[in-house]
Amino acid sequence: MGTPLLELRGINKSFGPVQVLRDVAFTVQPGEVTALVGDNGAGKSTLVKCIGGIYPIDSGEYLIEGRPVHVHSPRDAAQLGVEIVYQDLALCDNLDIVQNMFLGRERRSGMILDEPTMEQLASETLASLSVRTVKSVRQQVSSLSGGQRQTVAIAKAVLWNSKLVILDEPTAALGVAQTAQVLELVRRLADNGLAVVLISHNMNDVFAVSDRIAALYLGQMAAQVKTTDVTHAQVVELITSGRSGALGLAEKGVAA
C-alpha cells in the first residue's frame, strides 16, 4: 500500500480537564472510503474538527501524503485539500446551486463576478460525479430535496480539487432512495481517487460503501480494520465495548 493520504499519530485533545482524544492513530488511503464509527461521545466530531483545523490538537503528528503539516484553521485545512461536509450542510437557501458552490471563493474577472465560468465549472463538477438529479444548476437551493442538498454540499467540497472529503452523517436525515443516491455518490468520490471519510451510525451504510472501518471508543481508536475482515456484529461490539475478540483495545485500555 502506498503512502496514506492522511495519517494521524498519537493525537491528544483535551477540553479543560476532559480528555476527549487519547493517543489516537488514524490513517486514510486515497481511493478508499474509510468509515469512522463510534458511539455518541466517542470523539468522532472532535477528531473531525481537529482534522479540519477548527480545534487545535494538543499533541500528536498530522501528516498529509507523508509530510508533517500544521493545521491551525479551516483555511489551512482547505489549502491542504481537506474539505468537511457538516451535517447541517451550511447552504444558503436563497442562493442557487452555482452561487452556493462558489460561496466565499467566487471567480471574478476584474471586479465583476464571472458567472459563465462558475456555472460551467459547477456543471462539470456535477457531471463528473454523475449527478443527474438536479434539473438546472441555476435552481435555488430552497427548491431542492434533502438528498439533492447533500449532493450539492458534497459537490461543493469536491470542486476545490480536494484530496480528502470528510462527510459527517450524510444520510442521517434522508429517505431510502435518497440515501442510496448519496452513498452511490460517496463511492464514486473514492473511485475518482479521493480519500473519503464517512461518519455514520448506520451499519448498513458503512458496510455498503466503506473499504475500511475505524472505530472510536471513549476517545481511543479501538481498531482500524478492513471492512471485508469483520462482521456486522464485531463492529457493533467494537463500538459498544471497544473490543471484539482479538480485535480492539486490550483489557487495560492499551491499543492492541
Partner 1 sequence: MSAVTKEPAVAVARPSAGDDGILGYLRGYGRKVRGGDMGALPAVAGLLVLCIVFGLARPVFLTAPNFANLLTQAGPVVVIAMGLVFVLLLGEIDLSAGYTSGVCAAVLAIMLTNNGFPWYVGIAASLATGLVIGLLLGFLVAKVGIPSFVVTLAAFLGFQGVVLWLLDEGTNISVRDSVIIALENEFLPPLVGWGLAAVTVLGFAAVQLIQRRNRHKRGLKADLWQVVAFRVIGLAVLVGFAVAILNQERSRNPLFSLKGVPIIVPLVGVLLLLWTFVLRRTAYGRHVYAVGGNKEAARRAGINVDGIRISAFVICSAMASIGGVLLASQARSVDPNTGGSNVLLYAVAAAVIGGTSLFGGKGRVLDAVLGGLVITMIINGMGLVGWSSAYKYIATGVVLLLAASVDAFSRRRAAASS
For binding to partner 1 (CB under 8 A), which residues are involved?
Answer: 74-75, 86, 88-95, 99-100, 103-106, 108, 111-113, 116-117, 119-120, 123, 130-136, 142-145, 148, 177-178, 180-181, 183-184, 187, 208-209
CB 89, min distance to partner 1, A = 8
Cα–Cα distance list, 70 to 53, 55, 80 (Å): 9, 12, 10
The smaller minimum CB distance to partner 1, of residues 42 and 189, is found at 189
Residue 72 phi, psi dihedral angles, 5° rounding: -115, -15
CB 65, min distance to partner 1, A = 24
The smaller minimum CB distance to partner 1, of residues 131 and 235, is found at 131
CB 217, min distance to partner 1, A = 25
Q: What letter does residue 54 receive in the DSSP assignment?
A: S
- Coil, helix or strand for 47? helix
What dihedral do alpha carbons 171, 82, 46, 216 form, nearest 10°? 70
Contacts of 138 (CB under 8 A, 6+ apart): 96, 97, 98, 119
CB 9, min distance to partner 1, A = 28
Residue type, 145: S
- Coil, helix or strand for 198? strand
Which pairing describes strands 112-113 and 164-168: parallel, antiparallel, or unpaired?
unpaired
Residue 91 phi, psi dihedral angles, 5° rounding: -110, 150
The smaller minimum CB distance to partner 1, of residues 177 and 256, is found at 177
The smaller minimum CB distance to partner 1, of residues 68 and 116, is found at 116
The smaller minimum CB distance to partner 1, of residues 154 and 221, is found at 154
The smaller minimum CB distance to partner 1, of residues 167 and 222, is found at 167
Rounded Cα distance between 130 and 79, Å, is 26
CB 151, min distance to partner 1, A = 9
CB 190, min distance to partner 1, A = 10
Contact indicator for 32, 213 with CB cutoff of 8 Å: no
CB 238, min distance to partner 1, A = 20
Number of residues that make up the chain? 256
The smaller minimum CB distance to partner 1, of residues 39 and 211, is found at 211
Contact indicator for 211, 227 with CB cutoff of 8 Å: yes
